[in-house]
Amino acid sequence: MAVIHKFLLEEQRWLWQGVERKIYPSGNRPSDPKGVSVQWLIGRDEGAPFFAVRYFELEPGGQTILDRHPHDHGVFVLRGRGRVRLGEMFYELGFGDVVYIPGNEVHQFFNAGEDLFAFLCVIPNKDHLRGLGLL
């Protein structure tokens, strides 16, 4: 069954009807997340068997966790200015930029501006990958 989540705007926050905004707990280590929220726009709850689409917002000074895992990502920047760490390299990002992160690549996103930094992130459905023997 198809699903539509209608867009809402609340005081600079991008939200969608029927989608919970989850705040990542901040940690004390430099590699821990800080000031990050995520909304799962398409995924298991919508019945999507092969992929998920997530919307991330990073507060000024915020960052995602330093991460590495077997699945790849597709990222599309929607708002603000940021940086991404890929392996040992860092790259500046802005509106419209697209990032492909292959599986097992070390990666981390940072807000590099004074406003929210936000992006869409597409990942494969992990249950599907397990079923194919890829995880």
Q: Give the residue numbers annotated as catalytic, written as ranges.
A: 121
Task: Write the single-letter amino acid at 35.
Answer: G
Q: Which two tokens stand for residue 10?
A: 């609340």
Q: Sign of dihedral through CA atoms 125, 89, 34, 38?
A: negative
If one counts every other C-beta atom within 10 angstroms of the C-beta of residue 101, the result is: 21
For residues 66 and 55, give the distance between their C-alpha atoms in angstroms, rounded to a whole number. Answer: 18
Could you give the CA distance from residue 40 to residue 100 in angstroms, rounded to a whole number?
Answer: 19
Structural contact between residues 53 and 120, judged by C-beta atoms closer than 8 angstroms: yes
Contact 78, 120 (CB under 8 A): yes
